[in-house]
Amino acid sequence: MTAIRAESDANLTVAAELAPLTEKPRTLWRDARARITRSKLAMICLGIMACYVVVALIGFSGLLNHAIEATVGPGSAPPSTASVSLWAGTDFLGRSVLWRLLYGARVALTVAFLASIVSIVIGTVLGLISGYFGGCIDAAIVWLFSTVSSIPWILLILALAFVLKGQEFALPGIGKFTLTGVPTIVLALGLTSWVGLCRYIRGEVLKLRERDYIAAARAIGLRDRSILFRHILPNVFHLIIIDFSLGLGAFVQSEVVLSFLGLGVTDQPSWGRMIDDAKLELLKGVWWQMAAATIAIFVFTLAVNILGDAFRDALDPRLRGVD
């Protein structure tokens, strides 16, 4: 009996010693996920972002199309005062502010995500090429983003949006189309917001291309394209995620500014258009449409910034520190 117990204890000791060897190896992404899930504030902000995305998807489904067109003014049957549509009041045309606010999330998130994709693609490609190849290519790209960054960002966006609005383009298989509303804002923001990411990636690639594993990849005959996308891009991908998360709030605010100035969305409800309509209502003491749109923008921007800071602290090796 004693021998059996001793053998059992020995097996438990060996299992305890081998347990760390059987655990999954620690990686940057696994550590980052663990850090973010441990942060209650980051998880709350992630939940808020999920709510905005769900509301935007509902707007795409068409469920809000009839609701935003319904009015409660003279000549229409007013709903009950307990109706959900009246929780945020109505605008000067009798339209529900709540439904317009929910539909505006569709426009805001569409602009933010599409403009981020355009900006990230341009900034990432140019940053990789500039930092890896150097020479004349690097000089040309540095001159390009230096020229773009020398112009005040808001003025460049306004000028580009004004030029693009109403322009006709012809694409094979699609035909002619005119730039209005969301496509105009997406191009204006995406084509002017890639400079910061391009600089960050270029700086990282300048350091990475001198590492031993890059020299080994060249020695075994790998092509430049394979080295860029298989060995360098994964090591700068955390910069793309951070830029994406921090850029969403800025793009939403820019969409509001452009729509307010009449260069953005004019054919459907948006937060910028709500603020533009509210400027006439404020003179009559009607403030709830302005307050609803402002609070929606504030909550979205605050959640995105906090979540972006959490991603930056979790993914940037220089800021992660030691637990």
Instruction: Answer positive or negative: Cα dihedral of 95, 101, 106, 112.
Output: positive
Asked if the model's pLDDT at residue 97 lies above 50, the reply is yes
Local confidence band at 319 (pLDDT 50, 70, 90 cut-offs)? low
**Residue keyed to tokens 């002017």:** 192
Q: Using CA atoms, how far apart are residues 154 and 73, in angstroms rounded to an integer?
A: 38
| The predicted structure's pLDDT at residue 214 | 85
Copy the structure tokens of residue 289.
């449409």
Question: Each residue of 278-311: pLDDT tens digit?
Answer: 777 777 777 777 888 888 888 888 888 888 778 7
pLDDT value for 108: 84
Q: Is 177 helix (H, G, I), strand (E, B) or coil?
A: strand
Q: Write the single-letter amino acid at 298.
A: F
Residue 7 has pLDDT above 60, yes or no: no
How far apart are alpha carbons 178 and 134 in whole angstroms? 39
Q: What is the pTM (predicted TM-score) of this model?
A: 0.74
Mean pLDDT of 222-247: 84
* 62 band by pLDDT with thresholds 50, 70 and 90: low
- Domains present along the chain, CATH in parentheses: 27-79+86-320 (1.10.3720.10)
Closest CA to 106 of 295, 255, 301: 255
Instruction: Identify the pLDDT of residue 82.
Output: 43
DSSP 168: E
For the stretch 133-168, pLDDT in tens is 888 999 999 999 888 888 888 788 878 877 777 667
What is the average pLDDT value for the chain, to the nearest integer? Answer: 76
Predicted pLDDT at 121? 93
Separation CA 132–CA 224 (nearest Å)? 9
Instruction: Give mean pLDDT, residues 112-135.
Output: 90
> Would you say residue 314 has pLDDT above 60?
yes
In contact, 205 and 128? CB cutoff 8 Å: yes
* pLDDT the model gives residue 208: 87
